[in-house]
Structure 1
Amino acid sequence: MNSPLQDPLADRLHALKQRFVERLKVELVSLEAYGQKLEQQDVELESMRNCVQRLHQLAGSAGTFGFPEVGELARELEKRLKTEVEHWPDNAGAGHPGAEACTGLAVQFRALVARMKTESAEPVPDRDQAATTVIDEASLHGQQVRLLVVSDGLSELDDLVKELSRYGFNVLVLGLSDDRFSETNRAALLDNVATAICWHGMVERVARQVSGHHADAWPYLMPLVCIGETGQFEQRYRVASAGARAFFPEPVDVPELVERVETFVEEKTSRVRGRVMIIDDDRELAEHYSLVLAAAGIEPRVVNDPAQLLEALHGFEPDLVLMDIELGHYSGVTLAGMIRFHARWLSLPIIYLSAEDDLESQLQALSGGADEFLVKPISDDYLIRSVQMRCQRARQLSELMNRDSLTRLLKHSIIKQEVERERLRSMRGDYPSCAVLLDIDHFKQVNDTWGHAQGDVVIRALANLLRNRLRESDAIGRYGGEEFLVVLSNCDAPAAEHLVGRILQNFSELEFAVGEQAFQVTFSAGIALINQFAEGDQAIEAADRALYARKRAGRNGVMIYDQSMAGRSLSPADGF
């Protein structure tokens, strides 16, 4: 949403603009002197190259700091000087380019210098007159999610409400005549509800009640899920035309419904997260980009010295790289090629952010290994939206590679890495964290009795429950088959035991229907304090020993690792 700059951000951006004006004054002296040399036809190749680099930075940054005319004049002058550099004879000394070219260039220099004098002489507007930018709403993930079930008093939705409550949702049941649907209360309802659910016969009325004066936006503010008797085309079409985002025929596949709701919750409440590395030798401009992106919930890392690039990549692991194509003595195109030397970074999106506006030059630059080209100056709003979109796409690709297809949880290798990462973080931060291994009890019997398809439903149900009940800072993975590995950050063992016990209680209350029959399932869990071990794998093994100790003690419970378990066999010979 568009909102005024937050005070700390506005203060820092205001200070940056003042720094840029001071820089303009320094550049003014240098460029004015160079213009006088051109008038005297006293120029050298190296000094001209240096001037091209200065103009390139000015063309890219002036517009961002509120001086678009300076930027445009610098851009045109940079182009002309580049042409002269490219055609500079190998044996030419001082005096090249020719008299006519020098005179033309000198005229352009005088125009640029005059504009810079005017701009640098004008006072920077007060902070409260600064521009606005896009600031995302804070993420709500981790709080209990509220669902709205709209009832006509006739449809049987009580069982569904109970099932959704067991998954940890806060379910609010309202009738269409409830005064909370009134004009004065509708906004508060929208703000506090993640998803609405109704019977398909009510879809048009619910849509009218919910939408108010926001008919185009409401399906995304509060997605509507419809439940119906059949999945016929006409019925689905009617539901879709009313603005519903999903349709579930009866009997409702509750785990699948929960998974869809989770998707809507992520869309509505969580920021588009991402890590962006900004590689630019223009310190003020790079800091400006960094501040703006950080305010939008994106974690930036600035690299001003290209020689530090590879080390920074490995330490930061960005989702996206923003890079200028001219970085002093270094070429961004060459640096992009260097990044692609490493198999680890072959899929890393690299976006050039440069004042270069020649399409042919852009195409040549992209052939070096980058993915896209954004032309400076770029507005804060456009930068944020561009980066958010590309980070989201990068993360979607990462999800496909790193997530288990059945549960959408982290794959075995990735969740193991998370244990080690959390061990290192917790050691640096001096706080406790736990690794938890969960295993569904008697899962072979579930498959043998009810079929493997129903076994998949049970696995997805536990995955959805874990995702809904744990914090965003916690990592959840499918460790293998019916086994899950969870990393609880900043959580000691007794707190972990209490939390996992509550999740076990909720899971054991879920009923899985197969025709006229139903069954319930439990799990066992082992907990190990990650900080007690020198390696993440050791913490996982300890949690595994605690898990098997719990199974030997009768399953359906949670146990914390202690040293007495260290020598026990992990053989599954007892049929656990």
Structure 2
Amino acid sequence: MNSIAVDQLQERLRLLQERFFERARGDIETLSGFARLIDQQQLPHSELEKCYKLLHRMAGSAGTFGLPELGQSARVIEKQLKALLESAVSADVAGDEFVSVSAEVASEIRQLARLLEKAPDVVTTAEVSQAKAPAAAESYDGAHGMQVNVMALGYSLDYLPGLVKSLAVYGFVCESGSIDHPDDVAERLRERANASILLCVDSALGDVMDFREQHLPKAEHRRFPVVCIGHESSFDSLYRVAQQGATAYFCEPLDLPELAERIESLALERGSRPQGRVLIVDDDVELGEHYCLVLKQAGIIARLVSDPSDLMSELSAFEPDLVLMDVQLRDFSGVTLARLIRYEQRWLGLPIVYLSSEDNPENQLDALSKGADEFLVKPVTDDYLVRSVRIRCYRARQLSDLMNRDSLTGLLKHSLIKQEVDRELARCRRAGHTSCVVMLDLDHFKRVNDTWGHGQGDIVIRTLANLLRNRLRESDVIGRYGGEEFLLILPDCEPTVAVKLIEAIGRSFAELVFWAGDVSFQVTLSAGVALINDFPVSDQAIEAADQALYQRKRGGRNGVTLYDPSPVGVKS
């Protein structure tokens, strides 16, 4: 985070804390009025409930704004009042009836004012700096939309260059570096805007891990997974490699498609950006805005809903990966809202995490049984909040991918890729740009399955999926249409450009060598390209690309054909 961003963050945190102090003074003045009624034994049941809610809010937010003692004291009183409220409900006490409250509670309430007086009127720059939100972790868009860099590291590089050359065919940007010149290698890695994977042999693994530790910033370790190549597959050798910290291990003879797929998956795993979308439901505006600021600074998209009546419309508009919700929201119950959210089928799998000062395990379990998934107890530190949200968003997206993506390739399923063509056609009409749809098919794929087996056929399909992700832009959309067929959407792309791009991908794919035991084989692909703008509905654009594909098949395969809407037909 640069100095300007730090200053802006500090200023926003300072303003939020000022607002909290101002509100806390007003709350304590109100609480002092309740204390006077307690002394006079004239506190109505309805006012006791108001007193409890103010203390609940203070217990949950004071620690976040640098006043942990105030929050802890408020929580102690809150628990006493909660017990009284539960007893009053059991006794069917009316709202205007007086409730007997110990004079000690009134004294404890007055102590809150003294705890607040200890706080500074405004926070200093140093204090804000210490409390600033965790910085966004280094994240990259992965291989889909940007090249993945593979850096082979070692002392003797006689072996690795050949492997690097083989991997380059898969679309990776590959290079070699010597550990004898660590400063040079570190500088080259830091210059890379793309996700980088380190590759080494097992004999150099220890030195490569030391290099990563000493020459790469710790915050960037997640950018540089280490893939180790070795000669042994015994448990002892695998354990030794894992103990040294390697992310992945491959034993010779190498399965290049599998190695390329693993590199691709590591890049995608560390490249998902943004890191999540979080809807925060909290009636404490200052606290909710603080959470939003902290999460946004960490690279997470966050939105606050302070009025529960807006919750359902905000869910539809924002489509979050996670909901963080207080259990008590003035006149509303977070437990009831969680149940309400589950009424809609689309939100049945949406993770809901209660963020509340409720720390009674039995009460937590009771609340969880009514529609939520987990509890985070207020106050939470900024760092703990960010880490918790990242983990939960990552898991939520994993589950979403299981439902929406093809299990073999990780690409969009048939129905979803067709929906994306619909959306792109609508965007073309709105923005007036030109986009293409591509139907792509593996040549003689039945022969591959019949000759080498379906396992080898799956490897070929996965390899093509990885190559497509590696060579296409982030804005391009890829789906597995069925079997060995793929459907691509290339937004803002002229047909002639699309043809040249797919031809280049086809040449790269044809160079790849697949192995079935000691026997090798190669596979080619055919493709049809159609201009989405030429059709009134998306299904017709897909059909046109399919017609162009089969024209290519009839014309000899291993190439690309552009659909021509004129009566003449298609262009090869």
1:429 CA displacement: 6.3
Structure 2 counterpart SS, 1:122: coil
C-alpha contact (below 8 Å) 2:133/2:297 kept by paired residues: no
Tell me what 2:77 maps to: 77
Tell me what 2:250 maps to: 248
Comparing 480-489 with 511-520, greater Cα deviation is found at 511-520
Tell me what 1:14 maps to: 14
Cα deviation, 1:278-325, whole Å, max 9, x if unaligned, reads 111122211211121122122223222222323332333322111111
1:326 CA displacement: 0.7
1:377 CA displacement: 1.1
1:71 CA displacement: 1.9
CA distance in 1, matches of 2:250, 2:36: 76
Aligned match of 1:163 in 166, 170, 183? 166
Q: Which amino acid aligns with 1:196?
A: L
Distance 1:506 1:46, change over 3 A: same
TM-score w.r.t. length of structure 2: 0.86
Q: Which amino acid aligns with 1:169?
A: F
Q: Which amino acid aligns with 2:121?
A: E
1:364 CA displacement: 1.6
CA distance in 2, matches of 1:132, 1:78: 29
1:380 CA displacement: 0.8
CA distance in 2, matches of 1:410, 1:140: 20
Tell me what 1:571 maps to: none
C-alpha contact (below 8 Å) 1:528/1:542 kept by paired residues: yes
Distance 1:106 1:275, change over 3 A: same
CA distance in 1, matches of 2:430, 2:18: 37
Aligned match of 2:290 in 280, 288, 299? 288
Q: Is 2:124 the counterpart of 1:125?
A: yes
Structure 1 counterpart SS, 2:354: strand
CA distance in 2, matches of 1:105, 1:266: 56
CA distance in 2, matches of 1:233, 1:85: 61
The aligned runs of 1:196-235 (5 Å cut-off) are 196-204=198-206, 206-207=208-209, 211-212=213-214, 222-229=224-231, 231-235=233-237
- Identity between Structure 1 and Structure 2 (%): 51
Q: Which amino acid aligns with 1:145?
A: V
Q: Is 2:175 the counterpart of 1:172?
A: yes
Structure 2 counterpart SS, 1:24: helix
CA distance in 2, matches of 1:313, 1:94: 38
C-alpha contact (below 8 Å) 1:4/1:132 kept by paired residues: no
CA distance in 2, matches of 1:254, 1:7: 48
Cα deviation, 1:511-530, whole Å, max 9, x if unaligned, reads 22445554333322334455
Q: Is 2:58 the counterpart of 1:58?
A: yes
CA distance in 2, matches of 1:565, 1:20: 71
The aligned runs of 1:388-403 (5 Å cut-off) are 388-403=390-405
TM-score w.r.t. length of structure 1: 0.86
CA distance in 2, matches of 1:412, 1:136: 34
Distance 1:389 1:305, change over 3 A: same
CA distance in 1, matches of 2:221, 2:451: 41
Structure 1 counterpart SS, 2:112: helix
Distance 1:275 1:463, change over 3 A: same
Tell me what 2:45 maps to: 45
Tell me what 1:511 maps to: 513
1:376 CA displacement: 0.9
Comparing 165-174 with 43-52, greater Cα deviation is found at 43-52
Distance 1:236 1:27, change over 3 A: closer
Distance 1:530 1:38, change over 3 A: farther
C-alpha contact (below 8 Å) 1:333/1:365 kept by paired residues: yes
Aligned match of 2:463 in 458, 461, 464? 461
Distance 1:541 1:8, change over 3 A: farther
1:532 CA displacement: 6.0
Tell me what 2:545 maps to: 543
CA distance in 2, matches of 1:70, 1:428: 55
1:475 CA displacement: 3.1
Structure 2 counterpart SS, 1:391: helix
Tell me what 1:67 maps to: 67
Q: Which amino acid aligns with 2:362?
A: E
Distance 1:381 1:496, change over 3 A: farther
CA distance in 2, matches of 1:361, 1:199: 54
1:480 CA displacement: 0.7
Aligned match of 1:452 in 449, 454, 457? 454
CA distance in 1, matches of 2:432, 2:75: 51
Distance 1:453 1:109, change over 3 A: closer
Structure 1 counterpart SS, 2:177: strand
Tell me what 1:481 maps to: 483
Q: Which amino acid aligns with 1:231?
A: S
CA distance in 2, matches of 1:567, 1:55: 75
Comparing 132-141 with 192-201, greater Cα deviation is found at 192-201
CA distance in 2, matches of 1:195, 1:176: 15
Structure 2 counterpart SS, 1:479: strand
Distance 1:435 1:77, change over 3 A: farther
CA distance in 2, matches of 1:283, 1:218: 34
Distance 1:474 1:166, change over 3 A: same
Q: Kindly tell me the number of residue pairs found equivalent between the two proteins.
A: 561
Tell me what 1:573 maps to: none
Tell me what 2:414 maps to: 412
C-alpha contact (below 8 Å) 2:138/2:223 kept by paired residues: no
1:3 CA displacement: 10
1:428 CA displacement: 6.1
Q: CA RMSD in A?
A: 3.4
Tell me what 1:109 maps to: 109
Tell me what 2:149 maps to: 146
CA distance in 1, matches of 2:318, 2:223: 34
Comparing 502-511 with 211-220, greater Cα deviation is found at 211-220
Comparing 23-32 with 275-284, greater Cα deviation is found at 23-32
Tell me what 1:385 maps to: 387
The aligned runs of 1:331-410 (5 Å cut-off) are 331-410=333-412
CA distance in 2, matches of 1:425, 1:73: 56
Structure 2 counterpart SS, 1:370: coil
C-alpha contact (below 8 Å) 2:414/2:480 kept by paired residues: yes
Q: Which amino acid aligns with 2:166?
A: E
CA distance in 1, matches of 2:166, 2:260: 10
Q: Which sections of structure 2, spanning at least 5 residues, go unmatched?
A: none
CA distance in 2, matches of 1:556, 1:69: 72
Structure 2 counterpart SS, 1:288: helix
CA distance in 1, matches of 2:237, 2:76: 60
Cα deviation, 1:7-32, whole Å, max 9, x if unaligned, reads 43333333222222232233234323
Q: Which amino acid aligns with 1:28?
A: I
CA distance in 1, matches of 2:499, 2:210: 46
1:335 CA displacement: 1.6
